A and B are shown apart, each in its own frame.
Chain A
Amino acid sequence: MYGSGMMKGFGVTIRNLFRKPVTVQYPEEKVRQSSRFRGQEFSWFEDRCTGCASCAKYCPLGIIRIVTSPSDRHKQDGADFNIDVFDIDQARCMYCGLCVEACPYDALHMGTNFEGAQLRRQDLVITVDVLRKRAKHPSTWYRPQLERQDFDPYKQEADMQTVAREPYYWHPKRPAMLPESARKEATADGEYK
Protein backbone atom coordinates (compact mmCIF):
# COMPACT_ATOMS: atom_id res chain seq x y z
CA MET A 1 0.00 0.00 0.00
CA TYR A 2 1.30 3.43 -0.77
CA GLY A 3 2.23 4.96 2.53
CA SER A 4 3.12 1.83 4.46
CA GLY A 5 6.77 2.83 4.53
CA MET A 6 5.81 6.18 5.92
CA MET A 7 3.67 4.48 8.55
CA LYS A 8 6.70 2.53 9.68
CA GLY A 9 8.55 5.79 9.96
CA PHE A 10 5.76 7.25 12.05
CA GLY A 11 6.01 4.26 14.34
CA VAL A 12 9.73 4.88 14.82
CA THR A 13 9.27 8.51 15.72
CA ILE A 14 6.40 7.94 18.08
CA ARG A 15 8.44 5.31 19.88
CA ASN A 16 11.22 7.81 20.28
CA LEU A 17 8.78 10.34 21.65
CA PHE A 18 8.32 8.19 24.70
CA ARG A 19 11.98 7.52 25.31
CA LYS A 20 13.94 9.59 27.73
CA PRO A 21 15.84 12.31 25.90
CA VAL A 22 19.57 11.84 25.80
CA THR A 23 20.34 15.49 26.47
CA VAL A 24 22.73 16.23 29.28
CA GLN A 25 21.66 19.52 30.77
CA TYR A 26 24.89 21.42 30.97
CA PRO A 27 25.91 23.16 33.27
CA GLU A 28 23.84 21.41 35.87
CA GLU A 29 24.96 17.98 34.74
CA LYS A 30 28.22 17.18 33.07
CA VAL A 31 29.10 14.32 30.82
CA ARG A 32 31.30 11.84 32.55
CA GLN A 33 34.65 11.81 30.86
CA SER A 34 37.11 8.99 30.73
CA SER A 35 40.27 9.20 32.75
CA ARG A 36 42.33 9.32 29.56
CA PHE A 37 40.76 12.57 28.43
CA ARG A 38 43.34 14.96 27.00
CA GLY A 39 42.25 18.10 28.75
CA GLN A 40 43.51 21.54 29.59
CA GLU A 41 45.33 22.48 32.79
CA PHE A 42 48.50 20.53 32.35
CA SER A 43 49.96 18.92 35.46
CA TRP A 44 53.63 19.63 35.94
CA PHE A 45 55.84 18.22 38.62
CA GLU A 46 58.77 20.56 39.00
CA ASP A 47 60.84 18.13 41.04
CA ARG A 48 60.85 15.65 38.20
CA CYS A 49 61.49 18.18 35.45
CA THR A 50 65.09 18.54 34.35
CA GLY A 51 64.57 21.27 31.80
CA CYS A 52 65.43 19.04 28.85
CA ALA A 53 62.76 20.79 26.74
CA SER A 54 61.85 17.59 24.87
CA CYS A 55 58.24 18.69 25.14
CA ALA A 56 59.03 21.98 23.47
CA LYS A 57 60.89 20.26 20.67
CA TYR A 58 58.14 17.73 20.09
CA CYS A 59 55.24 20.13 20.03
CA PRO A 60 53.95 20.39 16.43
CA LEU A 61 52.92 23.99 16.91
CA GLY A 62 55.89 25.19 18.89
CA ILE A 63 53.85 26.78 21.64
CA ILE A 64 55.94 25.71 24.59
CA ARG A 65 58.62 28.14 25.60
CA ILE A 66 61.24 27.07 28.11
CA VAL A 67 64.03 29.22 29.47
CA THR A 68 66.38 27.61 31.93
CA SER A 69 69.46 28.57 33.88
CA PRO A 70 72.05 26.31 35.47
CA SER A 71 71.51 25.28 39.06
CA ASP A 72 73.45 23.47 41.71
CA ARG A 73 71.10 20.60 42.28
CA HIS A 74 72.15 17.04 41.58
CA LYS A 75 75.58 18.13 40.42
CA GLN A 76 76.86 14.60 40.55
CA ASP A 77 74.14 13.35 38.22
CA GLY A 78 74.79 16.06 35.72
CA ALA A 79 73.13 19.11 37.27
CA ASP A 80 69.50 20.04 36.82
CA PHE A 81 68.35 23.28 35.40
CA ASN A 82 66.29 26.00 37.06
CA ILE A 83 63.16 26.51 35.07
CA ASP A 84 62.70 30.26 34.74
CA VAL A 85 60.07 30.37 32.04
CA PHE A 86 57.72 27.58 31.05
CA ASP A 87 54.94 28.98 28.93
CA ILE A 88 52.32 26.93 27.24
CA ASP A 89 50.20 29.00 24.90
CA GLN A 90 46.77 27.47 25.22
CA ALA A 91 45.30 29.74 22.60
CA ARG A 92 46.90 27.60 19.93
CA CYS A 93 47.32 24.32 21.74
CA MET A 94 45.49 21.49 20.08
CA TYR A 95 45.80 19.08 23.01
CA CYS A 96 47.42 16.42 20.89
CA GLY A 97 49.55 15.25 23.82
CA LEU A 98 52.81 14.89 21.95
CA CYS A 99 54.55 16.94 24.62
CA VAL A 100 53.36 14.51 27.25
CA GLU A 101 54.48 11.62 25.09
CA ALA A 102 57.91 13.18 24.73
CA CYS A 103 58.60 13.83 28.40
CA PRO A 104 61.15 11.22 29.54
CA TYR A 105 60.79 11.96 33.25
CA ASP A 106 56.99 11.94 33.65
CA ALA A 107 57.07 15.55 34.70
CA LEU A 108 54.39 16.86 32.33
CA HIS A 109 50.93 15.34 32.09
CA MET A 110 47.73 16.27 30.34
CA GLY A 111 44.99 17.75 32.48
CA THR A 112 41.34 16.94 32.86
CA ASN A 113 39.51 20.19 32.37
CA PHE A 114 37.77 21.50 29.30
CA GLU A 115 36.30 24.68 30.69
CA GLY A 116 39.41 26.83 30.74
CA ALA A 117 38.13 29.64 28.59
CA GLN A 118 39.29 33.12 29.49
CA LEU A 119 38.13 36.54 28.53
CA ARG A 120 41.43 37.80 27.18
CA ARG A 121 43.92 36.12 24.92
CA GLN A 122 46.82 36.94 27.22
CA ASP A 123 45.20 34.99 30.02
CA LEU A 124 45.30 31.85 27.95
CA VAL A 125 49.06 31.49 28.31
CA ILE A 126 49.93 29.19 31.20
CA THR A 127 53.00 30.42 33.02
CA VAL A 128 55.31 28.54 35.29
CA ASP A 129 53.72 29.97 38.44
CA VAL A 130 50.34 28.70 37.42
CA LEU A 131 51.83 25.31 36.71
CA ARG A 132 53.51 25.23 40.08
CA LYS A 133 50.53 26.25 42.14
CA ARG A 134 47.74 24.45 40.41
CA ALA A 135 46.23 21.31 41.85
CA LYS A 136 47.51 18.34 39.92
CA HIS A 137 44.94 16.05 38.34
CA PRO A 138 46.94 14.34 35.65
CA SER A 139 45.03 12.49 33.00
CA THR A 140 46.05 8.87 32.58
CA TRP A 141 46.78 9.39 28.90
CA TYR A 142 50.08 7.75 28.06
CA ARG A 143 50.68 7.05 31.72
CA PRO A 144 50.07 3.35 32.18
CA GLN A 145 51.52 3.53 35.69
CA LEU A 146 48.56 5.69 36.68
CA GLU A 147 46.13 3.31 35.09
CA ARG A 148 47.61 0.37 36.86
CA GLN A 149 46.99 2.12 40.16
CA ASP A 150 43.35 2.79 39.13
CA PHE A 151 44.00 6.47 39.46
CA ASP A 152 40.89 8.57 38.87
CA PRO A 153 41.93 12.12 38.01
CA TYR A 154 38.45 13.44 38.70
CA LYS A 155 38.55 12.37 42.30
CA GLN A 156 42.20 12.27 43.31
CA GLU A 157 45.23 14.44 43.17
CA ALA A 158 48.60 13.05 42.28
CA ASP A 159 52.01 13.62 43.77
CA MET A 160 55.47 12.91 42.58
CA GLN A 161 55.52 9.29 43.59
CA THR A 162 52.15 8.43 42.11
CA VAL A 163 53.28 9.35 38.64
CA ALA A 164 56.59 7.59 38.84
CA ARG A 165 56.94 5.18 36.04
CA GLU A 166 57.94 1.61 35.89
CA PRO A 167 59.75 0.66 32.72
CA TYR A 168 57.70 0.84 29.51
CA TYR A 169 55.35 -1.98 30.06
CA TRP A 170 55.01 -2.63 26.42
CA HIS A 171 58.73 -2.45 25.73
CA PRO A 172 59.65 -5.95 24.65
CA LYS A 173 63.30 -5.73 25.67
CA ARG A 174 62.73 -5.31 29.37
CA PRO A 175 60.07 -7.71 30.53
CA ALA A 176 62.17 -8.80 33.49
CA MET A 177 61.72 -5.49 35.22
CA LEU A 178 57.94 -5.67 35.09
CA PRO A 179 55.73 -6.84 37.95
CA GLU A 180 54.47 -10.40 37.58
CA SER A 181 50.99 -9.39 36.52
CA ALA A 182 52.21 -7.34 33.59
CA ARG A 183 54.97 -9.66 32.46
CA LYS A 184 52.65 -11.94 30.47
CA GLU A 185 51.45 -9.06 28.33
CA ALA A 186 54.86 -7.90 27.31
CA THR A 187 56.04 -10.95 25.38
CA ALA A 188 58.41 -9.88 22.69
CA ASP A 189 57.22 -9.48 19.15
CA GLY A 190 57.90 -6.99 16.43
CA GLU A 191 61.50 -5.99 16.29
CA TYR A 192 62.63 -2.81 14.71
CA LYS A 193 64.60 -3.84 11.68
Chain B
Amino acid sequence: MTLHTQPVVVNIGPHHPSTHGVFRMRLTFDGENIVDVEPVVGYLHRGTEKLAEERHYTQVITLTDRLDYVASMTNNEAYVLSCERLVGLEAPERGKYLRVIAAELQRIVSHLIGTGFFLQDLGAFATPLMYCMRERERILDLFEMLCGARITVSYMRIGGVFQDAPDEFWPALRKLLDELPRYIDELEGLITTNEIVLARTKGVSPVTPEQAINGSWTGPVLRSTGVDWDLRKAAPYDAYDKVAFDVVVGENGDNYDRYLVRIREIRESIRIVEQCVKQIEPGPVRATTAMLFKPPPGEAYVPVEAPKGELGFYLVSDGSIKPYRCHIRAPSFINLSLLREMMVGWKMSDAIVSLGSLDFNMGEVDR
Protein backbone atom coordinates (compact mmCIF):
# COMPACT_ATOMS: atom_id res chain seq x y z
CA MET B 1 0.00 0.00 0.00
CA THR B 2 1.55 3.26 -1.03
CA LEU B 3 1.30 6.19 1.32
CA HIS B 4 0.37 9.34 -0.56
CA THR B 5 2.32 12.36 0.53
CA GLN B 6 2.22 15.87 -0.74
CA PRO B 7 5.05 18.35 -0.78
CA VAL B 8 4.36 21.36 1.39
CA VAL B 9 5.45 24.90 0.62
CA VAL B 10 6.84 26.77 3.57
CA ASN B 11 7.57 30.44 3.40
CA ILE B 12 10.70 31.47 5.27
CA GLY B 13 9.47 34.97 5.19
CA PRO B 14 11.07 38.35 5.15
CA HIS B 15 10.51 38.65 8.88
CA HIS B 16 12.74 35.98 10.19
CA PRO B 17 15.45 35.97 12.78
CA SER B 18 18.04 34.46 10.55
CA THR B 19 17.59 35.38 6.94
CA HIS B 20 20.29 38.02 7.12
CA GLY B 21 18.00 40.84 6.34
CA VAL B 22 14.72 40.84 4.51
CA PHE B 23 15.17 37.82 2.33
CA ARG B 24 12.27 35.61 1.49
CA MET B 25 12.46 32.00 0.39
CA ARG B 26 9.67 29.71 -0.54
CA LEU B 27 10.86 26.21 0.17
CA THR B 28 9.04 23.14 -1.00
CA PHE B 29 9.45 20.30 1.42
CA ASP B 30 8.90 16.60 1.12
CA GLY B 31 8.96 15.68 4.78
CA GLU B 32 12.16 17.24 5.97
CA ASN B 33 13.97 17.27 2.61
CA ILE B 34 13.97 20.30 0.38
CA VAL B 35 12.65 19.75 -3.09
CA ASP B 36 12.57 23.24 -4.52
CA VAL B 37 13.69 26.75 -3.62
CA GLU B 38 12.27 29.99 -4.84
CA PRO B 39 13.99 33.10 -3.55
CA VAL B 40 12.13 36.38 -3.54
CA VAL B 41 14.20 39.51 -3.20
CA GLY B 42 13.45 43.17 -3.38
CA TYR B 43 12.25 43.95 0.10
CA LEU B 44 15.09 46.39 0.64
CA HIS B 45 15.16 48.03 -2.74
CA ARG B 46 15.89 51.71 -2.31
CA GLY B 47 16.60 52.77 -5.87
CA THR B 48 20.31 53.42 -5.39
CA GLU B 49 21.14 53.32 -9.07
CA LYS B 50 18.44 55.80 -9.93
CA LEU B 51 19.32 58.06 -7.05
CA ALA B 52 22.90 58.05 -8.25
CA GLU B 53 21.81 59.69 -11.45
CA GLU B 54 20.43 62.64 -9.48
CA ARG B 55 23.49 63.34 -7.39
CA HIS B 56 26.91 64.46 -8.41
CA TYR B 57 29.90 62.24 -8.13
CA THR B 58 31.00 63.09 -4.63
CA GLN B 59 27.51 62.84 -3.25
CA VAL B 60 27.14 59.36 -4.69
CA ILE B 61 29.89 58.23 -2.32
CA THR B 62 27.44 58.65 0.54
CA LEU B 63 24.99 56.45 -1.34
CA THR B 64 27.55 53.74 -1.83
CA ASP B 65 28.17 53.42 1.90
CA ARG B 66 24.75 52.01 2.34
CA LEU B 67 24.89 49.23 -0.18
CA ASP B 68 26.70 46.56 1.73
CA TYR B 69 26.31 48.28 5.02
CA VAL B 70 28.62 45.85 6.70
CA ALA B 71 31.57 46.67 4.43
CA SER B 72 31.31 50.33 3.53
CA MET B 73 34.96 51.01 2.82
CA THR B 74 35.18 48.62 -0.08
CA ASN B 75 32.00 50.01 -1.58
CA ASN B 76 33.53 53.45 -1.48
CA GLU B 77 36.76 52.13 -2.92
CA ALA B 78 35.07 50.42 -5.85
CA TYR B 79 33.11 53.51 -6.78
CA VAL B 80 36.01 55.88 -6.41
CA LEU B 81 38.28 53.70 -8.51
CA SER B 82 35.75 53.72 -11.33
CA CYS B 83 35.49 57.50 -11.14
CA GLU B 84 39.25 57.81 -11.26
CA ARG B 85 39.40 55.51 -14.25
CA LEU B 86 37.05 57.87 -16.09
CA VAL B 87 39.68 60.60 -16.01
CA GLY B 88 42.78 58.46 -15.71
CA LEU B 89 43.64 59.75 -12.25
CA GLU B 90 45.76 57.94 -9.73
CA ALA B 91 45.84 58.47 -6.02
CA PRO B 92 49.12 59.40 -4.35
CA GLU B 93 51.12 56.63 -2.66
CA ARG B 94 50.08 57.35 0.86
CA GLY B 95 46.49 57.53 -0.24
CA LYS B 96 46.78 54.08 -1.80
CA TYR B 97 48.25 52.56 1.31
CA LEU B 98 45.60 54.11 3.50
CA ARG B 99 42.97 52.75 1.16
CA VAL B 100 44.43 49.28 1.46
CA ILE B 101 44.58 49.52 5.25
CA ALA B 102 40.99 50.66 5.43
CA ALA B 103 39.79 48.03 2.99
CA GLU B 104 41.57 45.20 4.75
CA LEU B 105 40.29 46.27 8.15
CA GLN B 106 36.85 46.35 6.63
CA ARG B 107 37.38 42.86 5.27
CA ILE B 108 38.18 41.65 8.77
CA VAL B 109 35.00 43.27 10.05
CA SER B 110 32.85 41.76 7.35
CA HIS B 111 34.26 38.29 7.77
CA LEU B 112 33.84 38.49 11.53
CA ILE B 113 30.21 39.35 11.10
CA GLY B 114 29.75 36.63 8.50
CA THR B 115 31.29 34.05 10.79
CA GLY B 116 29.39 35.21 13.83
CA PHE B 117 26.05 35.02 12.11
CA PHE B 118 26.92 31.73 10.50
CA LEU B 119 27.38 30.27 13.96
CA GLN B 120 24.27 31.96 15.22
CA ASP B 121 22.37 30.07 12.55
CA LEU B 122 24.02 26.87 13.68
CA GLY B 123 22.58 27.45 17.10
CA ALA B 124 25.56 28.34 19.22
CA PHE B 125 23.37 30.75 21.12
CA ALA B 126 25.18 33.95 20.24
CA THR B 127 28.42 33.18 22.02
CA PRO B 128 30.71 33.20 18.96
CA LEU B 129 28.66 36.09 17.65
CA MET B 130 29.41 38.12 20.74
CA TYR B 131 33.11 37.34 20.51
CA CYS B 132 33.15 38.45 16.89
CA MET B 133 31.26 41.61 17.74
CA ARG B 134 33.70 42.37 20.53
CA GLU B 135 36.59 42.33 18.08
CA ARG B 136 34.61 44.24 15.54
CA GLU B 137 34.04 47.03 18.04
CA ARG B 138 37.76 47.65 18.24
CA ILE B 139 38.06 47.99 14.49
CA LEU B 140 35.07 50.26 14.37
CA ASP B 141 36.75 52.47 16.94
CA LEU B 142 39.67 52.71 14.56
CA PHE B 143 37.31 53.76 11.79
CA GLU B 144 35.87 56.39 14.05
CA MET B 145 39.34 57.77 14.57
CA LEU B 146 39.93 57.83 10.83
CA CYS B 147 36.78 59.36 9.54
CA GLY B 148 34.33 60.08 12.29
CA ALA B 149 31.79 57.38 11.60
CA ARG B 150 31.76 53.69 12.29
CA ILE B 151 29.57 52.10 9.70
CA THR B 152 28.65 54.54 6.96
CA VAL B 153 32.16 55.82 6.57
CA SER B 154 32.38 57.86 3.34
CA TYR B 155 36.11 57.77 3.78
CA MET B 156 37.31 57.60 0.21
CA ARG B 157 37.12 60.44 -2.21
CA ILE B 158 37.94 60.73 -5.86
CA GLY B 159 41.69 61.08 -5.99
CA GLY B 160 42.57 59.27 -2.81
CA VAL B 161 41.47 59.08 0.74
CA PHE B 162 39.58 61.80 2.45
CA GLN B 163 41.88 62.79 5.25
CA ASP B 164 45.09 61.47 6.71
CA ALA B 165 45.00 59.28 9.77
CA PRO B 166 45.33 61.15 13.07
CA ASP B 167 48.28 60.57 15.37
CA GLU B 168 46.39 58.36 17.77
CA PHE B 169 45.46 55.99 14.96
CA TRP B 170 48.83 54.29 14.54
CA PRO B 171 49.38 53.17 18.15
CA ALA B 172 45.82 51.93 18.33
CA LEU B 173 46.28 50.03 15.08
CA ARG B 174 49.49 48.55 16.41
CA LYS B 175 47.73 47.38 19.54
CA LEU B 176 44.96 45.81 17.53
CA LEU B 177 47.36 44.02 15.21
CA ASP B 178 49.22 42.59 18.20
CA GLU B 179 46.12 41.30 19.92
CA LEU B 180 43.87 40.24 17.09
CA PRO B 181 45.69 37.03 16.05
CA ARG B 182 45.30 35.67 19.55
CA TYR B 183 41.57 36.33 19.50
CA ILE B 184 41.20 34.71 16.13
CA ASP B 185 43.04 31.68 17.51
CA GLU B 186 40.59 31.56 20.37
CA LEU B 187 37.66 31.83 18.03
CA GLU B 188 39.02 29.05 15.89
CA GLY B 189 39.54 26.92 18.95
CA LEU B 190 35.88 27.33 19.73
CA ILE B 191 34.65 26.52 16.26
CA THR B 192 36.99 24.89 13.79
CA THR B 193 37.46 21.58 15.56
CA ASN B 194 34.07 21.45 17.21
CA GLU B 195 32.50 18.12 16.34
CA ILE B 196 29.02 19.50 16.10
CA VAL B 197 30.10 22.20 13.66
CA LEU B 198 31.88 19.56 11.63
CA ALA B 199 28.86 17.29 11.69
CA ARG B 200 26.49 20.06 10.66
CA THR B 201 28.58 21.70 7.96
CA LYS B 202 31.13 19.31 6.53
CA GLY B 203 29.97 17.91 3.23
CA VAL B 204 26.74 19.88 3.34
CA SER B 205 25.70 21.80 0.22
CA PRO B 206 28.88 21.21 -1.77
CA VAL B 207 29.46 23.19 -4.92
CA THR B 208 31.85 22.09 -7.63
CA PRO B 209 34.20 24.58 -9.31
CA GLU B 210 32.37 24.20 -12.62
CA GLN B 211 29.04 25.01 -11.03
CA ALA B 212 30.59 27.96 -9.25
CA ILE B 213 32.14 29.44 -12.37
CA ASN B 214 28.98 28.85 -14.37
CA GLY B 215 26.97 30.55 -11.66
CA SER B 216 29.25 33.61 -11.71
CA TRP B 217 30.33 33.16 -8.17
CA THR B 218 33.14 35.37 -6.91
CA GLY B 219 34.82 36.03 -3.65
CA PRO B 220 35.42 33.70 -0.73
CA VAL B 221 32.62 31.37 -1.82
CA LEU B 222 34.34 30.82 -5.17
CA ARG B 223 37.68 30.27 -3.54
CA SER B 224 36.19 27.73 -1.20
CA THR B 225 35.34 25.50 -4.14
CA GLY B 226 38.98 25.32 -5.20
CA VAL B 227 39.26 28.02 -7.84
CA ASP B 228 42.01 30.42 -6.91
CA TRP B 229 40.76 33.66 -8.34
CA ASP B 230 41.34 36.79 -6.31
CA LEU B 231 41.05 40.21 -7.89
CA ARG B 232 43.72 41.55 -5.62
CA LYS B 233 46.17 39.30 -7.44
CA ALA B 234 44.59 39.01 -10.85
CA ALA B 235 43.94 42.70 -11.46
CA PRO B 236 45.72 44.59 -8.67
CA TYR B 237 44.52 48.05 -7.79
CA ASP B 238 45.72 50.50 -5.18
CA ALA B 239 48.76 49.15 -3.39
CA TYR B 240 47.99 45.44 -3.59
CA ASP B 241 50.85 44.73 -5.93
CA LYS B 242 53.31 45.90 -3.29
CA VAL B 243 52.21 43.64 -0.45
CA ALA B 244 52.71 39.90 -0.23
CA PHE B 245 49.86 37.68 0.86
CA ASP B 246 48.43 34.27 0.13
CA VAL B 247 45.13 33.49 -1.47
CA VAL B 248 43.16 31.10 0.69
CA VAL B 249 41.62 28.28 -1.29
CA GLY B 250 39.34 25.56 -0.03
CA GLU B 251 38.70 22.05 -1.23
CA ASN B 252 35.12 20.95 -1.32
CA GLY B 253 32.99 24.03 -1.50
CA ASP B 254 30.79 22.95 1.35
CA ASN B 255 29.60 25.09 4.22
CA TYR B 256 32.61 24.26 6.32
CA ASP B 257 35.07 25.36 3.68
CA ARG B 258 33.23 28.60 3.13
CA TYR B 259 33.50 29.36 6.82
CA LEU B 260 37.15 28.30 6.96
CA VAL B 261 38.18 30.40 3.96
CA ARG B 262 36.81 33.46 5.72
CA ILE B 263 38.66 32.83 8.95
CA ARG B 264 41.90 32.26 7.11
CA GLU B 265 41.34 35.40 5.06
CA ILE B 266 41.16 37.36 8.28
CA ARG B 267 44.67 36.23 9.06
CA GLU B 268 45.85 37.20 5.58
CA SER B 269 44.29 40.62 6.01
CA ILE B 270 46.19 41.10 9.24
CA ARG B 271 49.35 40.29 7.32
CA ILE B 272 48.55 42.84 4.65
CA VAL B 273 47.87 45.59 7.18
CA GLU B 274 51.16 44.84 8.94
CA GLN B 275 53.04 45.25 5.70
CA CYS B 276 51.25 48.46 4.84
CA VAL B 277 52.07 49.92 8.23
CA LYS B 278 55.73 49.20 7.57
CA GLN B 279 55.75 50.46 4.00
CA ILE B 280 53.71 53.64 4.32
CA GLU B 281 55.55 56.92 3.77
CA PRO B 282 54.46 60.45 4.61
CA GLY B 283 52.95 62.39 1.79
CA PRO B 284 49.72 63.74 0.43
CA VAL B 285 46.74 61.47 0.65
CA ARG B 286 44.53 62.98 -1.98
CA ALA B 287 45.20 64.14 -5.49
CA THR B 288 43.85 67.54 -6.39
CA THR B 289 40.57 67.42 -8.16
CA ALA B 290 37.92 70.02 -8.73
CA MET B 291 35.24 70.26 -6.13
CA LEU B 292 32.58 69.26 -8.62
CA PHE B 293 34.17 66.41 -10.45
CA LYS B 294 33.36 66.60 -14.14
CA PRO B 295 34.79 63.78 -16.21
CA PRO B 296 34.77 63.69 -20.01
CA PRO B 297 32.16 61.42 -21.61
CA GLY B 298 33.08 57.76 -21.33
CA GLU B 299 32.55 54.65 -19.29
CA ALA B 300 34.59 52.82 -16.71
CA TYR B 301 34.34 49.67 -14.66
CA VAL B 302 36.95 48.80 -12.07
CA PRO B 303 36.06 45.74 -9.97
CA VAL B 304 37.47 45.31 -6.50
CA GLU B 305 37.66 42.33 -4.23
CA ALA B 306 34.98 43.14 -1.70
CA PRO B 307 34.60 40.80 1.27
CA LYS B 308 31.55 39.32 -0.35
CA GLY B 309 32.91 38.96 -3.87
CA GLU B 310 33.67 41.06 -6.89
CA LEU B 311 32.11 44.46 -6.53
CA GLY B 312 32.18 46.93 -9.34
CA PHE B 313 30.52 50.14 -10.39
CA TYR B 314 29.88 50.54 -14.07
CA LEU B 315 29.84 54.30 -14.61
CA VAL B 316 28.73 56.00 -17.77
CA SER B 317 29.36 59.70 -17.87
CA ASP B 318 28.08 62.21 -20.37
CA GLY B 319 30.36 65.07 -19.43
CA SER B 320 28.20 66.60 -16.70
CA ILE B 321 28.71 66.62 -12.96
CA LYS B 322 26.26 63.77 -12.43
CA PRO B 323 26.75 60.23 -13.66
CA TYR B 324 24.54 59.32 -16.55
CA ARG B 325 24.24 55.72 -15.41
CA CYS B 326 25.67 53.92 -12.47
CA HIS B 327 25.17 50.20 -12.43
CA ILE B 328 26.33 48.19 -9.47
CA ARG B 329 27.54 44.66 -9.85
CA ALA B 330 26.56 43.38 -6.47
CA PRO B 331 28.35 40.18 -5.47
CA SER B 332 25.73 39.04 -2.98
CA PHE B 333 22.99 39.14 -5.55
CA ILE B 334 24.96 37.11 -8.05
CA ASN B 335 26.15 34.66 -5.41
CA LEU B 336 22.52 33.81 -4.79
CA SER B 337 22.24 32.30 -8.25
CA LEU B 338 23.24 28.83 -7.16
CA LEU B 339 20.69 28.61 -4.37
CA ARG B 340 18.82 25.74 -5.95
CA GLU B 341 21.90 23.63 -6.54
CA MET B 342 23.00 24.24 -2.99
CA MET B 343 19.80 23.48 -1.21
CA VAL B 344 17.85 20.83 -3.04
CA GLY B 345 18.24 17.49 -1.38
CA TRP B 346 19.24 18.82 2.02
CA LYS B 347 17.22 19.41 5.14
CA MET B 348 15.65 22.59 6.40
CA SER B 349 18.25 23.17 9.06
CA ASP B 350 20.87 22.91 6.35
CA ALA B 351 19.06 25.50 4.28
CA ILE B 352 19.40 28.11 6.97
CA VAL B 353 23.01 27.23 7.57
CA SER B 354 23.81 27.35 3.86
CA LEU B 355 22.35 30.82 3.66
CA GLY B 356 24.55 31.80 6.53
CA SER B 357 27.62 30.38 4.89
CA LEU B 358 26.95 32.31 1.69
CA ASP B 359 27.24 35.50 3.72
CA PHE B 360 25.14 37.74 1.58
CA ASN B 361 23.86 41.12 2.54
CA MET B 362 20.44 42.37 1.55
CA GLY B 363 21.60 45.93 1.17
CA GLU B 364 23.66 44.74 -1.76
CA VAL B 365 21.21 42.27 -3.15
CA ASP B 366 18.42 44.77 -3.42
CA ARG B 367 20.42 47.98 -3.71
A interface, CB within 8 angstroms of B: 2-6, 8-9, 11-13, 15-16, 22, 33-38, 58, 60, 94-98, 102, 110, 139-142, 144, 147, 170-173, 184-193
Give the size range of B's interface with the partner.
35 or more
In the bound complex, CA of A141 to CA of B187 (Å)? 35
In the A-B complex, the 7 residue pairs with the closest CB atoms:
A5-B193, A190-B287, A38-B148, A60-B59, A190-B92, A36-B148, A141-B148
CB pair B289 A192 closer than 8 Å: yes
In the bound complex, CA of A189 to CA of B160 (Å)? 12
In the bound complex, CA of A15 to CA of B190 (Å)? 11
- Residues of B near A36 (CB, < 8 A) are 144-148, 166
Given contacts A34-B144, A96-B62, 5 further A-B contacts (CB under 8 A): A6-B194, A58-B59, A60-B59, A185-B283, A190-B95
B47 within 8 A of A: no
CB pair B144 A172 closer than 8 Å: no
- Residues of B near A5 (CB, < 8 A) are 192-195, 197-198
B interface, CB within 8 angstroms of A: 55, 58-59, 62-63, 87-93, 95, 127, 131, 134, 137, 141, 144-149, 152, 154, 159-160, 162-164, 166, 168, 186-187, 189-198, 282-291
CB pair B196 A13 closer than 8 Å: no
- Residues of B near A98 (CB, < 8 A) are 58-59, 62, 154
CB nearest neighbor in B for A22: B134
CB pair B195 A142 closer than 8 Å: no
CB pair B287 A191 closer than 8 Å: yes
- Residues of A near B284 (CB, < 8 A) are 170, 172, 185-190
CB pair B59 A37 closer than 8 Å: no
- Residues of A near B87 (CB, < 8 A) are 193
CB pair A34 B288 closer than 8 Å: no
CB nearest neighbor in B for A100: B148
CB pair B189 A11 closer than 8 Å: yes
CB pair B190 A189 closer than 8 Å: no
Q: What would be 13 A-B contacts, judged by CB atoms less than 8 Å apart?
A: A5-B198, A12-B190, A16-B131, A22-B137, A34-B148, A36-B146, A38-B148, A60-B62, A96-B62, A102-B291, A185-B284, A188-B284, A192-B288
CB pair A192 B287 closer than 8 Å: yes
CB pair A190 B90 closer than 8 Å: yes
In the bound complex, CA of A2 to CA of B127 (Å)? 22
CB distance from B68 to the nearest CB of A (A): 17
In the bound complex, CA of A4 to CA of B197 (Å)? 13
CB distance from B77 to the nearest CB of A (A): 17
CB nearest neighbor in A for B288: A192
In the bound complex, CA of A75 to CA of B95 (Å)? 42
CB distance from B57 to the nearest CB of A (A): 11
CB nearest neighbor in A for B65: A96
- Residues of B near A142 (CB, < 8 A) are 162-163
Q: A9-B190, A12-B190, A102-B291 are in contact. Are A37 and B195 (CB under 8 A)?
A: no
CB pair B91 A190 closer than 8 Å: yes
CB distance from B256 to the nearest CB of A (A): 13
CB distance from B199 to the nearest CB of A (A): 10
- Residues of A near B159 (CB, < 8 A) are 190, 192
CB pair A33 B59 closer than 8 Å: no
In the bound complex, CA of A147 to CA of B163 (Å)? 12
CB nearest neighbor in A for B160: A190
- Residues of B near A96 (CB, < 8 A) are 62, 152, 154
- Residues of A near B190 (CB, < 8 A) are 8-9, 12-13
CB distance from A175 to the nearest CB of B (A): 10
CB pair B194 A172 closer than 8 Å: no
CB pair A95 B149 closer than 8 Å: yes
- Residues of B near A189 (CB, < 8 A) are 92-93, 283-284
- Residues of B near A192 (CB, < 8 A) are 89, 159, 287-290
- Residues of B near A184 (CB, < 8 A) are 282
- Residues of B near A9 (CB, < 8 A) are 189-191, 194
- Residues of B near A139 (CB, < 8 A) are 148
In the bound complex, CA of A160 to CA of B173 (Å)? 34
CB distance from B102 to the nearest CB of A (A): 14
CB distance from B131 to the nearest CB of A (A): 7
CB nearest neighbor in B for A144: B163
CB nearest neighbor in A for B59: A60
- Residues of A near B141 (CB, < 8 A) are 34
Q: A190-B92, A193-B89 are in contact. Are A13 and B127 (CB under 8 A)?
A: yes
Q: A22-B134, A36-B146 are in contact. Are A171 and B283 (CB under 8 A)?
A: no
In the bound complex, CA of A94 to CA of B285 (Å)? 25
CB distance from A183 to the nearest CB of B (A): 11
In the bound complex, CA of A74 to CA of B65 (Å)? 41
- Residues of B near A13 (CB, < 8 A) are 127, 190
